[in-house]
Chains A and B, each alone.
Chain A
Amino acid sequence: EAQVTQNPRYLITVTGKKLTVTCSQNMNHEYMSWYRQDPGLGLRQIYYSMNVEVTDKGDVPEGYKVSRKEKRNFPLILESPSPNQTSLYFCASSLQRRHTEAFFGQGTRLTVV
């Protein structure tokens, strides 16, 4: 089954404790991205990747890091989480063309206390 898998689905952590949210897709998509969703603000892009070892900042990259060492995986790293990073996070992938649909992971609800 074609899918994008994120883990964990839910996470509560403390300020400053490094964490990684994993994302994996099995569709051989070149393009992957991370979004955060906050009430009233819609989906905002954090980082994106056009292929292995090619990543770039989205609209809200501060406080996040990513890596793309393999085509299927695109982890999101919070080196020192802060309460303002409490949010719902989505990973998405698509073929590297603008007219192909994006496939989303199940979402990760992160709370930083």
Chain B
Amino acid sequence: ILNVEQSPQSLHVQEGDSTNFTCSFPSSNFYALHWYRWETAKSPEALFVMTLNGDEKKKGRISATLNTKEGYSYLYIKGSQPEDSATYLCAFGDRGSTLGRLYFGRGTQLTVWP
């Protein structure tokens, strides 16, 4: 079982604050890193899939960076809004594993207060 760590476990911020959280994964055998957003009572939805060292992806106020050499990815939210409240999951695709298999972290639960 591969170890994918996310920190912090939970985060509470005020509306308008910018925030970021971390996903750490094994630096060897890297193939892909996924970020998902999971709102309460819904199912996880993909935000980004990154495959190259140095990748940066952006969707609106949310962006992500990837460092495969040191085994981490950051997710940034600029100007947090209450609707950003969700659990953010990262998932690691390992080169040595079955095609399609992902290893998920435990998530960072973000709460944005108005």
Contacts and interface: CB of A to CB of B under 8 A. Distances in A.
B45 interface: yes
A102 B44 CA distance: 9
A44 B105 CA distance: 9
Interface residues of A, number: 30
A44 B4 CA distance: 12
Given A42-B106, A42-B107, A98-B31, A31 B99 contact: yes
Interface residues of B, number: 27
Interface stretch (A13-21, A61-69, A71-79, A103-111): A103-111
Contact of B98 (A50, A102, A103, A106): A50
B98 A30 contact: no
Interface string B50-92: 0100000000000000000000000000000000000001010
Contacts of B105: 42
Contacts of B42: 106
Contact of B93 (A48, A95, A98): A98
